[in-house]
Amino acid sequence: MSTRIKSAAVAIIIAVIMLILHDTFVFNIALGAIICIAVWEVFKATGYVKHQKVAIACYAFIAIDAIMPALFAHGWMMFFNSNLYYPLFVTVVCVMYLIDHKNFNYTDFFVMIGVTSLFNYCFSKLTVMAREPGGVFLLLITLCAAWLADSGAYFAGTFLGKTPLCPEISPKKTVEGLIGGIASNGIIMLIISLVYRYLCKGNPLHFGWIIIAGMVCAVIGLVGDLTASIIKRQTGIKDYGNIMPGHGGVMDRFDSVLLVAPFMYYLYTQGLIFA
């Protein structure tokens, strides 16, 4: 338990620093590193890490896509956008496929491109939100919406849990815990929003939509968490890594963020976060 607490404390400090530096190159570099590690962990778990050259191409694409928004913010290299470097990335992988087709088959080809594209698309929404007006708040509620529901579900499940939710995937999760997580997430999102609006003098907010967002994100985050758990069970691993002692790897901590981030960005683009 002490190891988990220490790791969590370090993670919180790093998260605070990243929020403070949300509109700098540091944030882009850090997020790019997180995405690369997450993809590497999945490749390692599923055995695709053996295709080293293709994996390096995947990491390079992620790094480029993470850095470019910071350059665009200064009006630099606007011509070199995803409409160019994404097809280039796929072309490079195609060339590698042609060269090594005896060892690199079509399932390897599609899985490695698919995982890279999916993870980069979902996590990169954090990069986009970071540079929007009210970026710190957007990042904060997105991460809270993904992570805090699990705590609410844990306590509700511990004291009230009786009905198994999905015993074959996650034996400890209960229906009562899920309901508690949904309710607590909506309440926590409201509290954070009230603090931001009235104590921090932030922008006007749609409190009703934020409550709904928190409740929906509790379910979406659970889907991401359970999906990651199935992959671990099917690949025979306990954790995706040990970068955070007591907590596992990046994917063990960010599996719920993977689906929550695009949803929260969608709500933002529809004008449902800020009034």
pLDDT of 58 reads: 98
**How far are the Cα atoms of 105, 142, 203, 253 from residue 265, in angstroms, in the given order?**
35, 9, 17, 20
Cα 50 to Cα 96: distance, rounded to the nearest angstrom: 14
Using left for φ > 0, alpha for ψ between -120 and 50, and beta otherwise, residue 6 falls in alpha
**pLDDT confidence band for 170 (50 / 70 / 90):** confident
DSSP codes joined into one string, 83-109: HHHHHHHHHHHHHHHHHTTTTS-HHHH
pLDDT of 171 reads: 84
Count, residues in the chain: 275
CA angle 58, 61, 66 (to 5 degrees): 125
pLDDT of 1 reads: 53
pLDDT digits (tens, 9 = 90+) for 84-126: 999 999 999 999 999 999 999 999 999 999 999 999 999 999 9
pLDDT digits (tens, 9 = 90+) for 214-266: 999 999 999 999 999 999 999 999 999 888 776 788 999 899 999 999 999 99
The pTM assigned to this predicted structure is 0.92
Helix axes 106-130, 25-46, angle to 10 degrees: 150
Average pLDDT, the chain: 92
Per domain, the residue ranges of the chain are 1-20+133-275, 23-130
> Alpha helix (H) ranges present in the chain?
2-20, 25-46, 52-72, 82-99, 106-130, 135-160, 175-194, 207-235, 250-254, 257-269
pLDDT of 29 reads: 94
Residue 236 DSSP one-character state? T
The tokens for 5 are 């607490």
